[in-house]
Amino acid sequence: MNPILTITKRELGGFFNSPVAYVFLVIFLLMTGAFTFFIGQFFDRAQANLQPFFMWHPWLYLFLVPAVGMRLWSEERRLGTLELLLTMPISPWQSITGKFIASWGFLILALSLTFPIWWTVNDLGSPDNGAIFTGYIGSALMAGGYLAITSMTSALTRNQVISFILSVVICLSLVLCGWPPVTDPLAAYFPNWIVEGVAAFSVMPHFDRLQQGVIDSRDLIYFISLIGFPLFATSVIIRSLRS
Amino acid sequence: MIKVENLSKTFGPKVAVNDVSFTVERGEILGFLGPNGAGKSTTMRMITGYIPPTAGVVKVGGNDVTEKPIEAKRLMGYLPESAPLYTDMTVEGFLGFCAEVRGIKGADKAKAIDRAIDMCFLKAVRHQSVDTLSKGFRHRTGFAQAIIHDPDILVMDEPTDGLDPNQKHEVRSLIRRMGQSKAIIFSTHILEEVEAACTRAIIIDQGKIVANGTPEELKAKSELANSYVASINGTEASAVRDGLGTVIQSAKVTIVTDKAPTVVARVFPKKAGADGELGQAIFAVAAQNNWKVNEIKKEEGRLDDVFRNITLSDNQVQ
C-alpha cells in the first residue's frame, strides 16, 4: 500500500477510535442546521438557494477546522512519535500529505452529511444545482485551506491549545482582511496598493463567487495556494525541528 | 553495514558530538556507553536520519543517510529513547501500521506481526490499547516495532531502560540472538549489559569516543586488571607486605584490608602479560613463609572502573 494511504488510514482510525469524530460530526451538523434555519432565516427568505447555508461556513470552520487539525503534529511532538515517523522509510512530505488527506477527508465527510439541506431546497423549489455544487466545492476548499493553516500551527508547538488559538487567529484574519471595517482604517494610513494587497488575502470574495456558481481559475488558484503554502511551511517547520 | 565517518553535531554553541568515527559489521553488537548527555542519543539520531549531521557522513548498507534517506531507513529498525508509541492504537494495530509503512502487506504483514509479538512476549496484550500498557509492555512494543521488518541493522537507544531484571535478561538474550545475523548498536549506561551482550563497546564522553574495543580489552585498561588479591590469615600486615615485596614480578603491593586475623593484600604486576608468573611467585612466597592462605585470585579488571576513570578525568580537567 502507498505509504501516504497508510498514514491516512492511521489518522482516520485515530479519529474514529475516539469520541472526537462523533462529537464533531454531531456538533457540525447541529450548528449548520441551527445557523441556516434560525439565524439565516432559510424559510422566511422563500428563495430556492443555499445562500443562508453557505454564508455561515467561513465562521463555523473558524472554530471547527482548527479543532480537527490541532492535534495533527503537536500530538506527534508531545508523544515523541515524530521521531518514529521520521525514521520510517517515508519522506516527510508523504506524512504531511497523508495526515492532511485524512483530516480533509473527514471534514468533507462532515460536509457531505449536510445533504438533507440540498434535498430540502430541491423539494421546496427548483434551485440552481450547479451553483449548489460549486458552493459545496468552495466550502470544501475553504475547509482545506483552514486545515492546512492548522497543520502549520500544529507543527509549531507541542501544545494543542496554542495550536488551536494560533490557527483561529490566522483564519480569522483571512476572513476579516477584506471587510470594510478593517480595510477602511488601513486606507487612512497606507497607500491603496497595500490596502488592496491585504484585502486580496481574504477568503470571502473567492468563496462568494463559487457560491454563485462561478468557477474562476483565480479562485481555484487562490484556494490551491491557500492549501499548498501552509503545507509547504509545515514541511519547513518539521525540517527545522530536526536540526 | 554501518559506517560513521567524522560525524559532528553542534546545537548552537554546544558541541554534542565531536568527530566520531566507527563501523559496525554484520554479526557485531556494539554497545554505546557514556554518561548522560555524552552524545549517545544524538549520534543514534544522526545514524537513523532523524537529525542531519553538522559535519561528517553516515553510511548504512552503503547508502548515505543524508542523500538516500529512504533506502537507508528501509534497512534499519530503530527504537528511540523512551520508546514512543501511538497511544490511541492497539498493540496489534500499531505493529500493523509500522509494517505497512515499511511496505509489508497482506499475509506477510500478519506473519510479521505474529513473529514480533512472539519474540517480544506481547501475546497477553495483543489487543490491548497502547495507553493502558505498563512501562515494560510499552517498551517491548517499541522493541517489536523496531524488528517488525526483520531489519539487517538495529539501532536501539537504551533498550532495557525501565524493565525489571527478568525482562532485562530476556531483552539481552534477544539482542544476543539477533546479533548473530544483524548489525546492532545499542546505547546503555548499565555496564553489566555491555559485558552480557556486546561484542564490542564504545565509550563516548562529551561527544568524543574515548575508548573502543571488546569488553575484555576495555576491562584490561583498568588499573586493577591482572593484579592479584591475596587473603591471608594470622600474619601481620607488615610481614605480608614485606614478604610480597620480594616478588620480583610485582610493581607495587598494597594492603586492601587489615582486620585481624585476616590481611588482604593486592599485588600489581610490573608488566602486562607476565601475570601467570606473578601468580606462581605469590604462591611460592606464601609457601616459603608458611602463610595460611584463604584465597589468591586474579583480578580481571572492572568495566565500571574504566568507565569512571575515562569519563571522570575529562570532567575534572575542565
Each residue's pLDDT tens digit, B193-223: 888 888 999 989 888 888 888 888 887 777 7
Q: Is the ipTM of this complex over 0.85?
A: yes
CB contact under 8 A, B89 and A10: yes
Check residue B161 and report its DSSP letter.
T
- Tell me which H or E stretch contains A56: none
Distance from CA of A98 to the nearest CA of B (A): 12
Identity of the amino acid at B119: M
CB contact under 8 A, A91 and B69: yes
Alpha-helix runs per DSSP H in chain A:
3-17, 20-34, 42-45, 51-54, 57-69, 71-79, 81-86, 92-112, 115-124, 129-156, 160-176, 180-189, 192-199, 204-211, 217-242
A184 touches chain B (CB under 8 A): no
CB contact under 8 A, B80 and A83: yes
* DSSP result, A193-233: HHHHHHHTT-SHHHHHHHHTT---HHHHHHHHHHHHHHHHH
The domains of chain B are located at: 2-220, 228-299
Each residue's pLDDT tens digit, A12-56: 998 888 888 899 999 999 999 898 888 877 877 777 778 888 989
A55 touches chain B (CB under 8 A): no
β-pairing, B250-259 vs B228-233, is unpaired
CB contact under 8 A, B84 and A80: yes
SS3 state at B50: coil
Name the packing angle between helices A160-176 and A129-156 (round to 10°): 140
CA distance A37 to A29: 12
Tally of domains in chain A: 1
**Contact residues for A236 (Cβ-Cβ < 8 A; gap 6+):** none
- Residue found under cell 517480544: B120
B132 touches chain A (CB under 8 A): no
Nearest-by-Cβ selection for A80 from B73, B78, B82: B82
Q: Give yes or no for a contact between B186 and B159, defined as CB atoms under 8 angstroms apart.
A: yes
CATH of B228-299, one of 1.10.10, 2.60.120, 3.30.70, 3.40.30: 3.30.70
Percent of chain A clearing pLDDT 70 (strictly above)? 100
Domain B2-220 class, CATH top level: alpha beta
Residue range(s) defining the domain that contains residue A44: 3-242
- Residue found under cell 586475623: B261
- What mean pLDDT is reported for chain A? 91
CB contact under 8 A, A7 and B45: no
SS3 state at B68: coil
Each residue's pLDDT tens digit, A116-163: 989 988 988 888 999 999 999 999 999 999 999 999 999 999 999 999
State mean pLDDT over B290-316.
75
Closest residue of chain B to A98, computed from CA coordinates: B101
Nearest to residue B298, comparing CAs of B317, B316, B274? B274
Nearest-by-Cβ selection for B80 from A17, A84, A91: A84
Report whether pLDDT(B317) > 50: no
A19 touches chain B (CB under 8 A): no
Percent of chain B clearing pLDDT 90 (strictly above)? 41
Each residue's pLDDT tens digit, B240-250: 888 887 777 77
β-pairing, B2-11 vs B55-60, is antiparallel
The number of residues making up chain B comes to 318
pLDDT on residue B273:
60
State mean pLDDT over B262-291.
79
SS3 state at B182: coil
User: A84, A85, A86, A90: which to substitute to probe chain B, counting the most B Cβ within 10 Å?
Assistant: A84
Distance from CA of A8 to the nearest CA of B (A): 11
Contacts of B69 in chain A (CB under 8 A): 89, 91
Check residue B302 and report its DSSP letter.
-
CA distance B201 to B303: 11
Each residue's pLDDT tens digit, A63-101: 999 999 999 999 999 999 999 999 999 999 999 999 999
